[in-house]
Chains A and B, each alone.
Chain A
Amino acid sequence: MHPVVRRVLHGGGFWPALPAVAFLVVFLVLPMLTLLAFGFVTIERGRIVGDTFTLQHLHSALGDQLIWRLAWRSFYVAVISTVLALVLAYPVAYLFSQTSGIWRTLILIAVISPLLTSALVRTYAWLVILGGRRGLLNQTLLQLGLIDQPLRLLNTDWAVIIGMTQIHLPFMILPLLAVLSGRDRRLEEAARNLGAGRVRTFFTVVVPMSVPAIFAGLALVFAVSYTNFIVPQLLGGGSYSTLAVQVYEQTVVVLDWTRGAVLATILLTSCFVFVYLIVAGGSRLSRWSEIRT
């Protein structure tokens, strides 16, 4: 047998990844590079004019105050939503790891089932809950007498943050779930034996051991929140915009592909930088897990 054929059959080297890599190159990387390239040429009436590479569009976008404001909003909305997701996800994942039988199954179904409905549908559901004077939340609060005036919830940062947090929660819960349920319980017993109470054991043993999963979740949820354009459009309202919303509007609504491509480049690049920082921070905090002798 030819050595290459043998290696493919034995699953050696990178060969097993070849089909997936080929698929991604043809259907993801090439179209994306093409799109991004549009930002560095000049297009008029659907044709590329001039044949030279230009940084002019990128330059003018970076000089635009509006773009910076939108990027900042994308950033803080994603950060708050990601932190909120962690705070909400950790107790759920921990609870899952401490239960057994039917409760475990129920929690798992509750975590996964939102992934089976479309994000659009879930966002519309938040419209119903948060929406205006007759929204479910305002109705309830008014009837309970907790407020006299309906709160302005829709079309604010908070509506966007709440919607995103809920939609992205499974991405935070799932890595935590895996790590927390597979953890070595004897470490907690050791901590108790050395005199630590339950709370101290949780924060000095359980949490540090789950740092890799925490940061995996943070990176994942940050990336999808930072680049989400559906939730800001629906829950933020017509005049609300973020960098991701601008990419969508310039490309699909205004049909200014050059502008859209430049903004997409900025969005993607900054997203990679932030995700890299999160991952790097995580591996700094969990350097012990890479020690091998």
Chain B
Amino acid sequence: MTHIQLEAIHKSYGQTQVLNDCTLEIARGEVMTLLGPSGCGKTTLLRTLAGFVRQDHGRVVVGGAEISHLAPNRRSVGYVFQNYALFPHLSVAENVAYGLKVRRRPAGEIRERVAKALHLVALDGLGARFPAQLSGGQQQRVAIARVLVLEPEVLLLDEPFNALDAKLRLTMQVELRKLIDRVGITSIFVTHDQSEAMMLSDKVAVMRAGRIEQVAAPLAIYDRPVNDYVASFIGRANVLSVEVRGGVVASAPEVVANRADGPARLIVRPENLAIAGADACWSGRILFASAQGPSIEYEVEAGLPEPLRLVVPRQAGEAALPAGAAVGVRIVDPGACIVIGGGSGV
């Protein structure tokens, strides 16, 4: 069941178009991630949902009702800011109680719900501290407790892990996903980190320069990227300029292309290439090799604008081929290759 609909959202600041025809549907209880490079409009789209930004065109619908005209304080949308935006002059408990006080709940109920919310994010006993006395991870949990205590319909999080160091980040990601599943709240994340998107979300919306390029489950995006931009953003990809002739790719005839003859682009994941002998599609020399336990990475110079990248499984005791060695490269699973239109490769 659709819970949130963003319909054809446009937003410009002066001459700069920041959001261009953004349409997105999110099911109830789903975790959606907005993924894209810095400056592509993720935060602006999230702020449109929260009401901090008023779109030029388009509709924001939550639970079947349009909320575009509502002030931020009239929307049941919890927002976790990039740097948490905790009130520095209020204690942790007062921060969490803020929204309940605004709603004029009785003092006893506030105390109870604040304690429950702090327990939910494992911050029991820290209510009397001030935000400046907490670690980054604890501050993040206060920010989440502060909005969840109000039981909003939707949870929005803008790069919630950015301020955390790498080690803590992984733990917090797992914890947050578990928390969201426990509460069962429809959530939208913003991140520029693809592994975070893969790990946290039911669906990923890949954005580029104010547009949504593709919306799908993380693995579907990885396996079936709609274009080379998405392919390179989610995981790594070789994007090759090729010719389609007679329904197949000329340089790799085992790859079937359901499109008219002419120039096209072939997208091949590094793990879908292997070192080959006689049946090679390309031949060249190894530029660089690095063995990494379970796999070996190669870069092969094969007369293409960019070297081919390969990731091949490594057997116990196997060493990488030396740089400079002449090798052939073949496609492992032609069915997993993607051929899209447009002549010039990336």
Interface residues of A (CB under 8 A from B): 184, 186-187, 189-197, 200, 204-205, 208-209, 211, 286, 288-289, 291-293
Contact = CB atoms under 8 A, between A and B. Distances in A.
A289 B130 CA distance: 10
A187 B85 contact: yes
B83 interface: yes
Given A286-B89, A288-B88, A193 B133 contact: no
Given A195-B73, A195-B102, A196-B102, 4 more contacts: A184-B85, A193-B78, A194-B98, A205-B87
Contact of B87 (A187, A192, A211, A293): A187
B88 A194 contact: no
A212 to B, nearest CB: 11
Interface string B72-103: 11010111010101111110000000110011
Contacts of B81: 186, 189-190
A196 B71 CA distance: 10
B268 interface: no
What range describes how many residues of B lie at the interface? 20 to 34
Contact of B73 (A184, A196, A291, A292): A196
A200 B132 contact: no
Contacts of A193: 50, 52, 72-73, 75, 77-79, 147
Contacts of B79: 189-190, 193
Interface of B: 50-52, 71-73, 75, 77-79, 81, 83, 85-90, 98-99, 102-103, 130, 132-133, 146-147, 150
Residue with the highest number of chain B CB atoms closer than 10 Å, among A195, A208, A288, A289? A195
Contact of B150 (A184, A194, A200, A293): A194
Contacts of A195: 73, 99, 102-103, 150
Contacts of A192: 51-52, 71-73
B142 to A, nearest CB: 11
B131 to A, nearest CB: 9
A211 B98 CA distance: 19
Contact of A291 (B75, B133, B146): B133
A288 B130 contact: yes
B132 A189 contact: no
Contacts of B75: 193
B63 to A, nearest CB: 18
A241 to B, nearest CB: 43
Contacts of A211: 89
Given A192-B73, A193-B77, A193-B78, A288 B132 contact: yes
B98 A191 contact: yes
